[in-house]
A and B are shown apart, each in its own frame.
Chain A
Amino acid sequence: MNRLPFTLVVGSIITAFFVGTALLSLVWTPHDITELEISQRLQPASATYWLGTDQFGRDMVSMLMEGSRTSIAVALIAVGLGIVVGVPLGLAAAAARGSLLDEVIMRGNDLIFAFPSLVIAILITAVYGPSATNAIIAIGIFNIPVFARVARGGALPIWTLDYILAARTAGKSRARISAEHVLPNIANLLIVQATIQFSLGILAEAALSYVNLGAQPPTSSIGKMLAESQTMIYSNPSLAVLPGLAIVIMVLGLNLMGDGLRDALDPRLRRARG
């Protein structure tokens, strides 16, 4: 790997840009989006409003910055939830391969897969009401079986290797072997999967907030911007086009980064991808 894959470079730049603007929005946005200036509504792009304003006079650039912050935060925490719960489950299942524990964990995974994540979100919000936290839980629950599966699948072949046998004869427990020898060896797999789940999480968050099951005002979210723009689509199509483009570029960047990471971290896969 003397040269970084092109996809990794492009993907990382795009991702860094969105993460950067999202972080920046914590301390600074071009305009304050909590102040509605009706006199400035539906302005075209200008030096003051780089991408114009929406029907409430809010600056589109600021809205997009804060909106992508919501997307990134929700998706990131949901991925974290999936890793923290899913990876230990997958490692435990692999360490106890064929046992009742393995069987229970894997069947439990199958069951979660049977619930479309949107249906989980609907169930949660039907009872607890919509919020960013509930969106995180709904997306995160679905990440658990994904990471459990990847961790188990990656760990199984490692358990057959000689140095694991050596560690076992040295008296190390299965849990310790999983943490010290198996986990570092599947880290690459997990990182690549995390990028994929991150981009799926951003799409899921957008869908949930679009149908008003995600973050609630005053938090801005891209899905909600799209929902609000829908009635204006005849007169002001740019209000619907810009937030969508932001999501597409963000997701595209993450997917490219994931592809690139996979190539960079696992040279064996390069041939298979043609």
Chain B
Amino acid sequence: MTRYLLVRALSLSLSLIVASVVIFAVIEVIPGDPAAFMLGLNATDESIANLRAELGLGGSLTERYANWITGMLRGDFGTSYTYRVPVAELILDRIWVSLPLAIFALILSTLIAIPVGVIAAATRGGAGDFSIMGATQLGIAVPNFWFAMLLVLLFAVTLQWFSAGGFPGWDNPAAALKALTLPAIALALPQASILARVMRSALIETLDQDYIRTARAKGLSRSQAIRRHALKNALIPVLTIIGLQFSFLLAGAIIIENVFFLPGLGRLIFQGITQRDLVVVESVTMLLVFAVIVVTFLVDIAYAIVDPRLRRR
């Protein structure tokens, strides 16, 4: 296990280093002069020179990369050019929208997908299975941002149960959760469809195992066999997918935040792009990729703890 952990940790740090180099290269090297890029065509030489000094573009590429990385490790993500505040402050402000949204969606998706997948597997080949599989086909084909618009149309415009967008802040937790409900449903639907299919096929595969036949031969009913023996084993691949979906949800939230005008990290990135604020784009992108890589790492570790067979490779 120690060896496995060491290898995984090594590949984690390697991924993070390569990812940061790629982001740094795309944002700071390829456009030529980032300062000129940020200020656009009408910038004077003087203002470009000022911005260059402000961004610390005087040093060599290696120096700038090192400064960027060590800064982020200390929690210094640079200063936003348009907002004139530290990017770390902007992120801290907005992560309290994006993170709860992703978690909310993940919980919803899991709560829907697991029972639905189990029912489909238990009624395998029957009418229930058929309709569930049909519904998940549809769920996979629906773009989540369009589903979000339909939700707005139904629940905000027609029924007026929810507001069509915006976020009141966490001072009033009930109102905040309510504002996140439609976005979370929109995010959760396609993920739940995928997860339900994984749950179904994992359970079907487990039900074909010899030990389930033994359990049935001992006199357990089908549902008893599922509950006591099959479910636990079938949940292992499902847990992996749930872990991987979290990072997917964080990225998917970028678009859904735009549908509902939620002031999260996704809106921050898009404002950064339209305002050519490369400092914001660079740091927020790195943060998202960091989150994805670390979550994947944690899922791998959790997987190895649950299933010892995986530690050998």
Report whether A116 and B248 are in contact in the complex, using a CB–CB cutoff of 8 Å: yes
CB-CB < 8 A to A211: which residues of B?
Answer: 254-255, 258, 270
A159 at the B interface (CB under 8 A) = no
User: Which of B141, B289, B292, B296 has a CB less than 8 Å from the CB of A248?
Assistant: B141
Which A residue's beta carbon lies closest to that of B274? A212
Q: Looking across the interface, which residue of chain B has its beta carbon closest to that of A7?
A: B137
CB pair A111 B146 closer than 8 Å = no
Contact stretch, chosen from B23-31, B83-91, B179-187: B23-31
Instruction: Return chain A residues, CB-CB under 8 Å to B137.
Output: 252, 255-256
Asked if B18 lies at the interface with its beta carbon under 8 angstroms from chain A, I say yes
Q: Identify which of A206, A210, A233 contacts B152 (C-beta below 8 A).
A: A233
Residue from A123, A207, A230, A234 with most neighbouring chain B CB atoms (10 Å): A123
| Interface presence of A125 (CB below 8 A) | yes
The residue in A119, A126, A233, A234 that gathers the most chain B C-beta atoms within 10 A of its C-beta is A126
Q: Is A93 an interface residue (CB 8 A)?
A: no
Chain A nearest CB from B117 CB (Å) reads 13
A110-131 CB mask vs B (1 if < 8 Å, else 0) is: 1100111011001111110000
Q: Does A244 contact B (CB under 8 A)?
A: yes
Q: Roughly how many angstroms separate A110 CA and B270 CA in the complex, as a whole number?
A: 26
Q: Complex: how many Å from CA A92 to CA B250?
A: 34
Per the CB 8 Å criterion, the residue count for chain B at the interface is 52
Q: Which interface residue of B143, B250, B254, B259 has the most chain A CB atoms within 10 A? A: B143
Residues of A within 8 A of B142 (CB): 244, 248
Tally of A-B residue pairs with Cβ under 8 A?
120
B15–A247 contact, CB under 8 A?
Answer: no
Which residues on B sit within 8 Å (CB–CB) of A122? 254, 269, 273, 281, 285
Chain A 216-259, CB within 8 Å of chain B: the 1/0 string?
Answer: 00000000001001100110010011011001110110011000
Within 8 A of A (CB), among B280-298: 281, 285, 288-289, 292-293, 296
Q: Is B37 an interface residue (CB 8 A)?
A: yes
Residue B153, interface by CB 8 Å: yes
B78 interfacial by beta-carbon distance below 8 Å: no
Task: From known contacts A116-B247, A116-B248, A126-B281, infer whether A199 and B141 are also in contact, taking CB-CB under 8 Å.
Answer: yes
Give the residues from 121 to 138 in chain B that come closer than 8 angstroms, CB to CB, to chain A.
Answer: 124-125, 129, 137-138
**Is A127 within 8 A of B30, CB to CB?**
yes
Decide yes or no whether B272 CB sits under 8 A from chain A: yes
Contact B255 A118 (CB under 8 A): yes
Q: What is the chain B residue whose CB lies nearest that of A114?
A: B293
Asked if B26 and A123 make an inter-chain contact with CB atoms under 8 angstroms apart, the answer reads yes
Closest B residue to A127 by CB, please name it. Answer: B31
Asked whether B61 is an interface residue with its Cβ less than 8 Å from the other chain, the reply is no
Out of B146, B254, B272, which one reaches A226, CB within 8 Å?
B146
* In the complex with contacts A126-B273, A234-B157, A237-B153, A248-B138 CB distance below 8 A: yes
| B250 contact set on A, CB distance < 8 A | 116
Smallest beta-carbon distance A257→chain B, Å? 12
Q: How far is the CA of A233 from the CA of B259 in the complex (A)?
A: 12
A267 within 8 A of B: no
Name the residue of chain A whose CB is nearest to the CB of B272: A126
Residues on A with C-beta less than 8 A from B129 are 274
Contacts of B292 in A (CB 8 A): 114-116
Give the distance to chain A from B4, nearest Cβ to Cβ, in Å. Answer: 16
Q: Does chain A have a CB within 8 A of B251?
A: yes
Q: Please, how many angstroms separate the alpha-carbon atoms of A237 and B151 in the complex?
A: 12
Q: Which of B18, B140, B150, B201 contacts A255 (CB 8 A)?
A: B140
Q: Tell me how far the C-beta of A134 lies from the nearest C-beta in chain B, rounded to whole angstroms.
A: 12
How far does the alpha carbon of A247 sit from the alpha carbon of B241 in the complex, in Å? 26
Question: A243–B255 Cα gap in the complex (Å)?
Answer: 17
Q: Smallest distance from the beta carbon of A271 to chain B beta carbons, Å?
A: 10
A107 touches B (CB below 8 Å)? yes
Contacts of A230 on B, CB cut-off 8 Å?
Answer: 149, 259
Q: Which residue of B lies closest to A235 (CB)?
A: B157
| Pair A114/B19 contact, Cβ less than 8 Å | yes
A191 at the binding interface (Cβ < 8 Å):
no
Rounded to whole Å, the gap between the CB of B283 and the closest CB of chain A is: 12
Whether B278 is near chain A, meaning CB under 8 Å from some CB there, is: yes
8 smallest CB-CB distances across A and B, nearest first, come from A116-B251, A244-B146, A251-B141, A252-B141, A114-B293, A126-B281, A274-B124, A126-B273
Contact sample, A vs B, 15 pairs, CB 8 Å cutoff: A107-B14, A115-B289, A116-B248, A118-B251, A122-B254, A123-B27, A127-B26, A127-B27, A127-B30, A206-B146, A240-B153, A249-B141, A252-B141, A255-B137, A274-B125
Residues of B at under 8 Å CB distance from A? 11, 14-15, 18-19, 22-23, 26-27, 30-31, 37, 124-125, 129, 137-138, 140-143, 145-146, 149-150, 152-153, 157, 201, 204-205, 247-248, 250-252, 254-255, 258-259, 269-270, 272-273, 278, 281, 285, 288-289, 292-293, 296
Can you name 13 extra interface pairs (CB under 8 A) apart from A240-B150, A244-B142, A251-B141? A111-B15, A115-B289, A116-B247, A116-B288, A118-B251, A122-B285, A123-B26, A127-B31, A210-B145, A211-B255, A226-B145, A272-B205, A274-B129
Residues on A close to B: CB < 8 A? 107, 110-111, 114-116, 118-119, 122-127, 199, 203, 206-207, 210-211, 226, 229-230, 233-234, 237, 240-241, 243-244, 247-249, 251-252, 255-256, 272, 274
